[in-house]
Amino acid sequence: MSAAAPKMRGHTSSATPAPPGAASAPPRRREVRGRAVGGLWLPAGIGLALLVVPVIGLLQRAPWSDLPSLLGSARLRDALVISAVTSAVAAGASVLLGLPLALVLSRCEPALRRLVRVAVLLPMVLPPVVGGTALLFALGRRGLVGQWLDTTFGWSLPFSTAGVVVAATFVAMPFFVITAEAGLRSADAGLVEAARTLGARRSVAFRRVMLPQVAPSLAAGAALAWARALGEFGATITFAGNLRGRTQTLPLATFEALEAGRPAEAIALSVVLLAVSVVVLVSLRDRWLTR
Amino acid sequence: MPEPPGPGRLRAALRTTVALAACGAVLAAAVSCGGGTSGVAAGRRNVTVFAASSLTDVFSDIAAAFEAAHPDVEVTLQFAGSSRLATQINAGAPADVFAAADERTAAHVAARQVAVFARNRLAIATPPDNPAGVTGLDSLTGDDLVLALCAPDVPCGALAEQVGGPELVAAADTREPNVRGVLTKVLLGEVDAGVVYLTDVAAAGDAVRGFAIDHPASTAYPLVLLSDSPEAAGFVDFVASPPAQDLLAAAGFGAP
């Protein structure tokens, strides 16, 4: 979708016919823009406030002076480690499994592509707790596949750190696949063709010609997937449970702190997650902020 | 992927709008099918009761009995872990009555009146086939056994720590937000054992196997009155009255 946006804009601006008097064009456009904003200020402002006020509310309650000691507590450190490890592995898995999926999606028959894309998009729109429940009945000890894993290999995913990774990958991979697919589809296939006719092997053409073109999309997709994995809550608590040092991630620790009447701890954790989100946004600034 | 501007896009937008409207209609139909009696009838006064998860079944029965005795009053129930309910009440949730699973949690909210109405003890629940061969508290600390306990800050978790000590805590594979979360994991067969209340084992019937814990520790359930409304006070009195106490006893709760 995001890859489509600039194309659209290019299309419309080039399609706008230049008026006969070229000098009269800029003022007219400015006039249109001013009129369009006038009546929209109120609803736009309410919308913006709805998004911004909660963040301000959080920050003004943050115990800034106690933050270092709060974040240094063993409980929060454990959650920080679990979150860092599982979100990184989930982002890695999303790239490793999602890139082939994106390539297949970008190349396969349109009918099949629609079908696969629905499957890929479903975890994005599914409430995460439903995803966790589904994972439990698929990969749980008595689940469709989990039963077999348990009896054959003695593997049990629920209540394990691996289970956290599975839940996070389930919700995060679609973000990578969709972003990567958009990049792959908008890349210039003619260049790869050219490389092939010049004698490059398929793998070389992909690595040297295709990858550099789609690298920004892949990086953005990976960042999005990682951020989504880090924020994962519903599927994790449903499928992987909640145990400090094994499956308790930052969002789970935030939830438990708030439940237990330790709001300062919950706010401190929220500030950490907020800071990470801002870093992700800044790292994606070329994609979203400057366009 | 980008559709050309013009009638095609309009049609697509229209299609999306129709689809969303259909979703809304489905949700609305589901709500109206399920909630025949939940709508607030005109002229009925409301009592909102926040109750610990372990009271899920018995308080539904008590509320029904109370409504039968007071046709002009409607009871709204919300169940969750006691500590979450206390947090919500302190954050301004409109509860009239709070039934907590221990006195420590009840002490966190500003109350007008507090009275213990029931007692409970812990028990072990396993799936019916008892896959890990649980025999009692001592058999829970093995490495191979998957064990669910309540979170440390919920009453059942605190009581489990008191009863089982650090060995039990170290053996836990998950700490669920409330006791019914533990029971669910046992019902699904995802854990080999869960430490729940005696009354949860009774409520689950044949779906779980129960093992008594030979430990005298029990928890007291305080009923906390939070509002001035006469209906709320009426509900508090009703819970202490013989009809409600009979329901509690039938569910396996101990006398206050």
**What pLDDT score was predicted for residue B6?**
54
Residues 170-199 of B with CB under 8 A from A: 172-177, 185, 188-191
Residues 5-64 of B with CB under 8 A from A: 5
pLDDT band with cut points at 50, 70 and 90 for residue A13: very low
Chain A residue with the nearest C-alpha to that of B1? A4
Q: Which of A250, A132, A93, A251 is nearest to B190 (CA)?
A: A132
Judgement on whether residues B135 and B110 belong to the same structural domain of the protein: no
**What pLDDT score was predicted for residue A34?**
52
Segment A49-81, tens digit of pLDDT:
999 999 999 999 888 888 888 888 888 899 999
Judgement on whether residues B208 and B158 belong to the same structural domain of the protein: yes
Domain that holds residue B186: 122-212
Judgement on whether residues B199 and B232 belong to the same structural domain of the protein: no
Segment A242-258, tens digit of pLDDT:
999 999 999 999 998 88
Judgement on whether residues B108 and B132 belong to the same structural domain of the protein: no
Q: For chain B, how big is the Rg over CA atoms in Å?
A: 22
Judged by CB atoms closer than 8 Å, whether chains meet at B5 and A4 is answered as: no
**What pLDDT score was predicted for residue B186?**
95
Contact list in A for residue B84 (CB cut-off 8 A) is 259
Residue B105, both tokens: 């949690």
Chain B residue with the nearest C-alpha to that of A5? B2
Judgement on whether residues B229 and B176 belong to the same structural domain of the protein: no
Asked whether residue A20 carries a pLDDT value surpassing 60, the answer given is no
Judgement on whether residues B82 and B134 belong to the same structural domain of the protein: no
**What pLDDT score was predicted for residue B41?**
47
Residue A128, both tokens: 């995460």
Kind and range of the H or E run holding A62: none
Judged by CB atoms closer than 8 Å, whether chains meet at B173 and A256 is answered as: no
Confirm or reject contact between B93 and chain A (CB < 8 A): no
Judgement on whether residues B150 and B204 belong to the same structural domain of the protein: yes
**DSSP assignment of chain B:** -PPPTTHHHHHHHHHHHHHHHHHHHHHHHHHHHH-TTTS--TT-EEEEEEEEGGGHHHHHHHHHHHHHH-TTEEEEEEEE-HHHHHHHHHTT---SEEE-SSHHHHTTS--SEEEEEEEE-EEEEE-TT-TT---SGGGGG-SSS-EEEE-TTSHHHHHHHHHHHHHHHHH-SEEESSHHHHHHHHHTTSSSEEEEEHHHHHHHGGGSEEEE------EEEEEEE----HHHHHHHHHHHSHHHHHHHHHTTPBP-
Judgement on whether residues B111 and B146 belong to the same structural domain of the protein: no
The mean pLDDT of chain B is: 88
Domain that holds residue A142: 74-251
pLDDT average, residue stretch A224-236: 94
Contact list in A for residue B2 (CB cut-off 8 A) is 4, 7-8, 11
Q: How far apart are CA A267 and CA A270, in angstroms?
A: 5
CA A190 to the chain's CA centroid: 30
Asked whether residue B237 carries a pLDDT value surpassing 70, the answer given is yes
pLDDT band with cut points at 50, 70 and 90 for residue A35: low
Confidence check on the interface: ipTM exceeds 0.90, yes or no = no
**What pLDDT score was predicted for residue A25?**
45
Q: What is the CATH number of the domain that holds A219?
A: 1.10.3720.10
Phi, psi of B229 (to 5 degrees): -70, 140
In a domain, B40, yes or no: no
Judgement on whether residues B62 and B101 belong to the same structural domain of the protein: yes
* Whether A120 contacts A103, CB under 8 Å: no
Judgement on whether residues B106 and B80 belong to the same structural domain of the protein: yes
pLDDT average, residue stretch A211-238: 92
In a domain, B32, yes or no: no
Ramachandran sector of residue B43 (left: φ over 0; alpha: ψ -120 to 50; beta: rest): left
- The angle at the Cα of B187, spanning B182 to B189, to the nearest 5 degrees, equals 100
In a domain, A9, yes or no: no
């909630």: which residue's tokens? B35
- The angle at the Cα of B55, spanning B52 to B59, to the nearest 5 degrees, equals 115
Judgement on whether residues B198 and B231 belong to the same structural domain of the protein: no
pLDDT average, residue stretch B150-166: 94
Q: How far apart are CA B31 and CA A251, in angstroms?
A: 31
Bridge partners of B123, per DSSP, are B196, B212
In a domain, B19, yes or no: no
In a domain, B9, yes or no: no
Residue A290, both tokens: 């400057």
Judged by CB atoms closer than 8 Å, whether chains meet at A242 and B174 is answered as: yes
Kind and range of the H or E run holding A139: helix A128-139
In a domain, B16, yes or no: no
pLDDT average, residue stretch A11-17: 41
**What pLDDT score was predicted for residue B30?**
65
Neighbours of B249 (CB within 10 A): 14
Q: Which residues contact A236 (CB under 8 A, 6 or more apart)?
A: A132, A164, A167, A168, A247, A249, A251, A252
How many independent structural domains does chain A possess? 1
pTM above 0.90, yes or no: no
Confirm or reject contact between B92 and chain A (CB < 8 A): no
Q: Which of A161, A159, A160, A141 is nearest to A151 (CA)?
A: A141
How many independent structural domains does chain B possess? 2
Q: How far apart are CA A153 and CA A245, in angstroms?
A: 24
* Whether A136 contacts B188, CB under 8 Å: yes
Q: Is B44 or A78 the better-scoring residue by pLDDT? A: A78
Segment B180-208, tens digit of pLDDT:
999 999 999 999 999 999 999 999 999 99
Neighbours of A5 (CB within 10 A): 13
Q: What percent of chain A has pLDDT over 70?
A: 86
Contact list in A for residue B146 (CB cut-off 8 A) is 141, 156, 159
- The angle at the Cα of A14, spanning A8 to A20, to the nearest 5 degrees, equals 145
pLDDT band with cut points at 50, 70 and 90 for residue A126: very high
Q: What is the CATH number of the domain that holds B182?
A: 3.40.190.10
Judged by CB atoms closer than 8 Å, whether chains meet at A259 and B177 is answered as: yes
Contact list in A for residue B90 (CB cut-off 8 A) is 261
Judgement on whether residues B59 and B112 belong to the same structural domain of the protein: yes
Ramachandran sector of residue A245 (left: φ over 0; alpha: ψ -120 to 50; beta: rest): left
Contact list in B for residue A158 (CB cut-off 8 A) is 190
Judged by CB atoms closer than 8 Å, whether chains meet at A243 and B175 is answered as: yes
The mean pLDDT of chain A is: 85
Q: What percent of chain B has pLDDT over 90?
A: 72
Judged by CB atoms closer than 8 Å, whether chains meet at A242 and B185 is answered as: no
**What pLDDT score was predicted for residue B35?**
43
Judged by CB atoms closer than 8 Å, whether chains meet at B151 and A242 is answered as: yes
